Structure 1
Amino acid sequence: MNVRVAVETPRQPEVAALLALSDMIAAALYPGEPRRALNQETLDAPGIHLLVARQHGVAAGCCALFEGPEGTAELKRMVVEPSHQGQGVGRALLEAAEGLAQGLGVTRMQLEVGIRNTAGEALYRCAGYRDRAPFGRYRASPISRFLEKAL
């Protein structure tokens, strides 16, 4: 597998490319649907941690951990570059995000996943995430599922 995950600055070209890939995937899965924009500037803020997975030094994927209220954190914008899929990159990112969250005192990890992102949802469910109601600023949506895991 040889995947190394670390918190890195979002202000680097490899991260910009991964975020653009994430936008492209979301647009293909949910054409015409509104999406919450996340960019390098948004991710470079207090309480937000960008994790980058690297294989042989190459950025293979990323995700963001947003610290929330009352012992919660939200996992956002997980993406794995297609040539690195099926190699444990997503699982490594998820495990690293959960470990970071626990180190920050988080007791519940939350996320929103689109209904057409079957691979992402399968990963989360396999890792122990279960259905929950919308949280934070989210509202119920026919294209979204909301999941949570006690850490």
Structure 2
Amino acid sequence: MIALRRTDSQNQDFIDLVALLNADLKMRDGEDNAFYSQFSKIDLIKHAVVAYDGEYPIGCGAIREYQPDRTEVKRMYVTPEGRGKGVATKILAELESWAAELGCRYCILETGKRQPEAIALYKKMGYRIIKNYGPYAGVENSVCFEKRILRDI
């Protein structure tokens, strides 16, 4: 059974999973990795989720404030052993719920064109492609997404 735990970037399981993510992205992105890694720091993340299969950590994700009404989804990763079990969907749904609890109206994110699994996940979860934002503006390999998670009352 998959269990989700809310935590922060000081959690050792989160740190270890992010290290695996970074190694995977280094292989996928090649020379572009140096550019992307500057936006992948986790030391200031206050809202992270780790997925466990029993006591074994198999996935993670995080959010951080981007603008007062927008939170950015960061550091999504599922281990090879955890894939195909809906883990990423559960992590993303938990991050969206947490963002809504914090009063955010939108989740935004960036992923790379070399991560087709991530692109498929975000489309399946209702994210729409938007113009590349912030540091990703004009970056050919980046794909940015947005989803409204909190409606006006």
Q: Is the shorter-chain TM-score for this pair beyond 0.5, marking a shared fold?
A: yes
Cα shift readout 1:85-136 (whole Å, capped 9, x = no counterpart)? 1111100100000100111111111000100101111010001000101223
In the other structure, the counterpart of 1:115 is 113
In the other structure, the counterpart of 1:92 is 90
Q: Which amino acid letter does the alignment assign opposite residue 24 of structure 2?
A: I
Q: Summarize the alignment of residues 39-54 of structure 1 with structure 2, pairs less than 5 Å apart.
A: 39-43=41-45, 48-54=46-52
2:36 and 2:135 mapped to 1: Cα distance? 13
In the other structure, the counterpart of 1:24 is 23
Cα shift readout 1:32-72 (whole Å, capped 9, x = no counterpart)? 112234345343xxxx3111111112111111101121310
Contact 2:136 2:142 in 1 (8 A): no
Q: Summarize the alignment of residues 69-84 of structure 1 with structure 2, pairs less than 5 Å apart.
A: 69-84=67-82
Root-mean-square deviation over aligned CA pairs: 1.5
Partner SS for 2:85: coil
Tell me which stretches of 4 or more aligned residues in structure 1 moved more than 4 Å.
Answer: none
Count of paired positions: 146
In the other structure, the counterpart of 1:66 is 64
In the other structure, the counterpart of 2:131 is 133
Partner SS for 2:37: coil
1:9 and 1:76 mapped to 2: Cα distance? 12
Higher helix share: 2
Contact 2:51 2:60 in 1 (8 A): yes
2:131 and 2:19 mapped to 1: Cα distance? 29
Contact 1:19 1:39 in 2 (8 A): no
Identity across the alignment (%): 27
Deviation at 1:6, TM superposition (A): 2.1
Partner SS for 2:134: coil
* TM-score scaled by length of structure 2: 0.88
Deviation at 1:139, TM superposition (A): 1.7
In the other structure, the counterpart of 1:147 is 145
Is 1:36 matched up with 2:22? no
